[in-house]
Chains A and B, each alone.
Chain A
Amino acid sequence: MELFGALITLLGSIILLIAAIGLVRMPDVYNRLQVGTKASTMGTLLSLLGIAIIHPTWAGKLIILILFVLFTNPVSSHVLARASHYINIRISKRTVVDKLKVTDRAFKVGEVKK
């Protein structure tokens, strides 16, 4: 059982390593955020879950930590994505469509006409 927990922790650290590689390889801010959020959430979750399996009397605190990471990590990535769209960070050339920009432009034109 303890060996199983240790292997889960190792799997979590491998996922964190994938997150780091993705952070370097992806072309623009939004793709980095995508890779970073998903993989780092799952990596931390698995690492702490492995510790909780090895040492079950600490499970309460570890569960609180896991829930905390699971709730706050998507919120912070959402806030960062919104800020980077607001200050016009350069978007990758491979982007197909940007509906938010189109909507913003229509909104501004409508305001000018009023």
Chain B
Amino acid sequence: MPPLQRFTVTTVIGFIALFAAVHLASAQIKIGSVLSVSGPASFLGDPEKKTLEIYVEEINAKGGVNGQKLQLIVYDDGGSADNARTFATRLVEEDKIAAMVGGSTTGSTLAMIPVFEDAKIPFISLAGAIQIIQPVRPWVFKTPHTDKMACEKIFADLKSRNLTTIALISGTDAFGKSMRDQCVSVAPNAGINIATEESYGPRDSDMTPQLTNIRNKAGVLAVVNPGFGQGPAIVTRNYRQLGITLPLYQSHGVASKQFIELAGPAAEGVRLPAAALLIADKLPANDPQKPVVVDYSRSYQQKTGQAVSTFGGHAYDGLMILVQAMQRAKSADKAKVRDEIERTKGYIGTGGIVNMSPTDHMGLDLSAFHMLEIKGGDWTLVPGT
């Protein structure tokens, strides 16, 4: 073997031995996770992974759960449902985990569900779509609110302002599409009439034609924009450029400071639903979620140096719901833990107050969302929401 090859081989073997040693040294309750840490969905997976690591360490420092330390095993699916499925099999067959918290995207979650259902292992997903918990599957739970709830929250606000005829303009990305479908399906029940609909591609840079169509449509009283990323910011700018004065509603998908920066002064007066986490400092002192979200924001910012996102919050909720269920079950027995997760009542998390039941494996209601209005370049809480 030439020297360079010999060196490489020795180094690699050395590394493997070192990491294997670190791996074997710790822990008893194994918690598995498959997250999209890299790839197109890394904005979800990255904060989720950091959150799980921070809190598993914190829990272990306080003595673990039921006297046993937690061991977290995270795999990166790179945003591919196929990889997620392989890692799920690996967690079940090789790592023999007691419970699973993870699945950043709906696609990867749906691909992993059969693995955990077959193995009878509690699975708390961090992905959004309602298909994950509807129909209810015995072993599958989720922490994030659904798009459907965001639609309902927006529609409730529209209804209270008597703006019942609206136009919809949505992105064709996964988020925009899923939310648009939910909005269309809940609109009749909410007493909202969708008069016209437009869409745009995730990388479009000008939505003036679609918005012109909406402006020319008679009877429209407000515009709702289910979308994610920079699309909604462009919609907002074009909206003002065209001089449209109808109230504009954005979705929880853009509930970040970045949106206000991108849209600039055009964002003034835009309303959107958002989880408590984003407005931790704006919540009234008597809000039950206030201590939780302030505490989580502080820890996360301190440990990572980055701003919090709701996605990391979903991971926090998933882990805490699981840990509390294990404490109530006084063991890590899969069936007992599953039963206890289902009995979760009054858990106060970053996403809202969770009350699960055999028919509801998410346990959030509309109070999980707060209606925000952008004023002076910052969020303000809309009173009464």
Co-assembled chains A and B: no
